Amino acid sequence: MYRTGMARRSILTVALVVALAIGIAMAIAAFRQGDTSAPVPPAVPAVAPETAAQRGVFAAEEPARLLAEGRWPGLPVRMPDKGRTAADLPDLVPPPQSFEQAPLRVMFRQYEELPEAQRALAARLVAQRLTECLVHKNIEEAQLQRHAEEAYLQWLEGRNSMTTLMQPTVALRAIDQAYSVDASQWMDDWIAKQRRMHRLCDGTATGSFDERWPELQRWRQRAAELGDLESKFERAWTLFLLDTNSGDATRLVELKHEALQLVDEMLEMRYAPVLLVLAGYADHGYFQLPDTDLHRAYLEAYARISANPSRSSWRWHSFPVAALDNWLVGFDRNREAYIRALSSQRLERIQRWADAIESWPDRQNR
Amino acid sequence: MGGCDRELAGPAESMMHRSTTRSVLVLLLFLAAVIFLVSEQYWEHEFSSEDSGSPQDSRAHDTVPEHAEEPNSGAASARAMRPNLVTHVDGVPVWELPQEQRPAYFAELRALADAGWAEAMLALASEAGLCVLRQGMDEGVVYVAAHPDYAYIYLGAELETAEEREAAMPERWAHFEQRMEEYRSNRETCDIVLGEDPDVIMDWLEHALVQQHPGFFRALIEDRIVPFSPGWVVRNAERLAIFNQGFLDALTARVERGDREALAVAWKAWAGRRFLPEPDAERALVYGLAARRLPPPWNEHAPDDAQLAEIAGADFGPRQRQAARQAADELWRRCCADVMKRPGAKDASLD
């Protein structure tokens, strides 16, 4: 009995102590809970959070493996290697020198008479001429001087419009600098250029830029289809520059297919300028959400490759490397700034992808 | 003996000891319970009074702050239907709030738009469009555009003396800080409006097309609801192509049924390039002429003579104009003559 009573007492005591402990613990917990649930204003992030796109393929740890699988960040489909080499490129023969110097009207006529092998490069030349003539206006000889004066004044106004944003003393210096240009020499140069363009652009469709643009794109497309890599690049780069109204959606669907086809063909040939196209697509977000870091990664890779073309498997084929240097002027200036602005994590990812793209192996080495 | 004494004295002592122990323990338990209850009530009171000071925080709780119940308290009172979702403020739907009051309710508008609430989508559209444009701009871009070391190279920085540059620095740094702060603020707003996916707007549009709530057709035609960022349009081209066709089909059906609001603005859909790659002048003319026969206030949206002439363009000959007039008459008889009178509506004319 006694032992039973002792046992009961002990159990009761333990139970009460436990209950007390629980009560005190709950009181403390309530205190602490109240402490942590106090409203705290959200902190402004110093570095912007990652976008959904940055968490996609671009976020992956193994860029080299993904590239080997044909998974290029920013593109919606795989670009698997089909094993083609430069030997598979068609032999493109340049048209006669006279074709290049001829007025547009003559180029159109002569193109039809050229042998098949010369047509790809000839079509590219026509497209280049149409580009030069996009905004050219035919001005009668008697009106040239008057138009030159107007053009000079417009040029000065353009220079001066920037001065309103400058400090006053600096603005005065800038205006002085603008007016120190020899006006008559400027106008003579302008007139000479107009005369030259007048001859070369003879045959251009009359009308506005918007009306001339489709013709230019048709010639680019023709040259690209005939196998000219430079025209594939130009076409891929300019596909979405105009006509991106919401009403153009049906046609844009077709253009997207064409863009992916062109990119695939250029990647297959290890054609370095395709990296500039991919940089542009990433920046605008044509296929996935816009991603400025991915844009930087492609440009970074291209900048490195163009600085040391012989070190990588990327090629320019007939395209002169220097022709695209101006694409990097802004990037070189901005590179230093974005290195200062971005987090080390983001910089590391940019560098990692640039490394992988730069050292993307030739198919012989894989 | 001792043992026996202890045994004999034991029950009494034991009873007393047990009684004391129980009393102490009960007292302790009581104290603990009191401490617990008091502390619960104290913290509840503390936090509820803190919460009620901030409408934003109050919306995070199910409870409605007391002052929200007070009539005519002066400040707008928002009442949550469920956590984080306010639909009305002082009786006004959040989608009808004046533009300057909407930012406080972007999260609500976003939740409603996601749920297929077309009015909320329309109220959010302009801010969402801005956020789409801001998508391609990160802090690196803003940094380059505003930092004193980079932003002034096109503004004559090479012409500055060292002293001039030094003197300009405080202002330039202030400008830089301001731009970065604006960027962060915009980013926070856009995180609420669109989250990480600007293509959610396409979902909203598709939901709204299914529902076709009052004002939907007019808003889509007259306001900039579909973002015009080239990247957004290209990225969503497949869905947009289907949406455009669905929109024009639905608009046509509405016009044929004699929907005044739809007929009033339908001509604009075919006169522009927002839903079509090229304008359809013929159809725009027919709808425009029919719209001119609508009674006020709907005929205010109909094209005037100059607009009709612009739609027709120089290529439209007399025969085509006559055909358009006849088609407009037929449309009017078919869709609208029986359901509408036209008091004071002016005669439609192309001439």
* Three-state SS annotation for B307-327: HHHHHHCCCCCHHHHHHHHHH
More confident residue, A301 or B71: A301
B263 and B322 housed in the same domain: yes
Task: Answer whether B52's CB lies under 8 Å from B58's CB.
Answer: yes
Residue A154 identity (one-letter amino acid): Q
Smallest CA–CA distance, residue A290 to chain B, in Å, is 5
Which of these three, B90, B117, B137, is where a domain ends? B90
B245 and B261 housed in the same domain: yes
Residues of A in contact with B21 (CB under 8 A): 9, 13
More confident residue, B95 or B73: B95
- Confirm or reject contact between B32 and chain A (CB < 8 A): yes
B71 within domain boundaries = yes
Q: How far apart are CA A98 and CA B320, in angstroms?
A: 49
B96 within domain boundaries = no
B14 and B40 housed in the same domain: yes
Residues of A in contact with B25 (CB under 8 A): 12-13, 16-17, 20
List the strands of the sheet with B92-93, edge to edge: B78-82, B85-89, B92-93
CB contact under 8 Å between A170 and B141, yes or no, is no
Give the model confidence (pLDDT) of B253-282 as tens digits: 999 999 999 999 999 999 999 999 999 999
Task: Answer whether B240's CB lies under 8 Å from B233's CB.
Answer: yes
Residues of B in contact with A14 (CB under 8 A): none
Smallest CA–CA distance, residue B342 to chain A, in Å, is 34
Residue B18 identity (one-letter amino acid): R
Number of domains making up chain B: 3
One digit per residue, the tens of pLDDT, for chain A of length 366 reads 445 555 555 555 555 555 555 555 544 444 343 333 333 333 223 333 344 444 566 777 789 989 988 899 999 888 888 888 777 888 899 999 999 999 999 999 999 999 999 999 999 999 999 999 998 988 999 999 999 999 999 998 887 787 887 888 888 888 888 888 899 999 999 999 999 999 999 988 777 888 899 999 999 999 999 999 999 999 999 999 988 889 999 999 999 999 999 999 999 999 999 999 999 999 999 999 999 999 999 999 999 998 888 888 898 887 777 777 777 777 877 788 888 888 898 999 999 999 999 998 765 444
B26 and B75 housed in the same domain: no
Q: CA-based angle B287:B293:B296, to the nearest 5?
A: 115
Q: CA-CA distances (angstroms) from residue A302 to A231, A252, B46, B55?
A: 19, 27, 60, 52
Smallest CA–CA distance, residue A299 to chain B, in Å, is 15
> Which residue of chain A has the CA closest to B54?
A39
Task: Answer whether B232's CB lies under 8 Å from A284's CB.
Answer: no
Give the model confidence (pLDDT) of B77-128 as tens digits: 555 555 568 888 888 988 889 888 889 999 999 999 998 888 999 999 999 9
Whether omega before A49 lies within 30 degrees of 0, making that bond cis, reads: no
B304 and B325 housed in the same domain: yes
B154 within domain boundaries = no
B195 within domain boundaries = no
Taking only residues 284 to 313 of chain B, the set having a beta carbon closer than 8 angstroms to any beta carbon of chain A reads: none
Global pTM value: 0.76
Q: What is the DSSP letter of A263?
A: H
B172 within domain boundaries = no
pLDDT of residue A13: 57
Residue A311 identity (one-letter amino acid): R
B104 within domain boundaries = no
Mean pLDDT is highest, among A3-17, B172-186, B335-349, for: B172-186
Angle at which helix B118-134 crosses helix B200-211, to 10 degrees, equals 160
B8 and B67 housed in the same domain: no
Q: How far apart are CA A366 and CA A67, in angstroms?
A: 12
pLDDT of residue B128: 93
CB contact under 8 Å between A283 and B233, yes or no, is no
Q: Residue A284 is nearest to which of B10, B43, B136, comparing CB atoms?
A: B136
- Confirm or reject contact between B241 and chain A (CB < 8 A): yes
- Residue keyed to tokens 């860029």: A63
Smallest CA–CA distance, residue A27 to chain B, in Å, is 4
Write out the H or E segment, with its range, that includes residue B79: strand B78-82
Residues of A in contact with B235 (CB under 8 A): 285-289
- Confirm or reject contact between B339 and chain A (CB < 8 A): no
Q: How far apart are CA A319 and CA A86, in angstroms?
A: 14
Smallest CA–CA distance, residue A15 to chain B, in Å, is 10
B41 within domain boundaries = yes
> Which residue of chain B has the CA closest to A25?
B36
B7 and B77 housed in the same domain: no
B250 and B325 housed in the same domain: yes
Q: Residue A285 is nearest to which of B136, B150, B273, comparing CB atoms?
A: B136
pLDDT of residue B68: 32
More confident residue, B224 or B333: B333
pLDDT of residue B274: 93
Q: CA-based angle B262:B265:B268, to the nearest 5?
A: 135
Write out the H or E segment, with its range, that includes residue A46: none
Q: Residue A162 is nearest to which of B22, B25, B154, comparing CB atoms?
A: B154
Taking only residues 138 to 157 of chain B, the set having a beta carbon closer than 8 angstroms to any beta carbon of chain A reads: 138-141, 143-144, 147, 149-150, 153-156
Asked whether this complex has an ipTM greater than 0.85, the answer is: no
Residues of A in contact with B22 (CB under 8 A): 12
- Give the residue numbers spanning the domain of B10: 2-51
B262 and B334 housed in the same domain: yes
B308 within domain boundaries = yes
Q: Residue A170 is nearest to which of B51, B57, B156, comparing CB atoms?
A: B156
Task: Answer whether A133's CB lies under 8 Å from A209's CB.
Answer: no
Q: Residue A30 is nearest to which of B39, B140, B184, comparing CB atoms?
A: B39
CB contact under 8 Å between B184 and A296, yes or no, is no
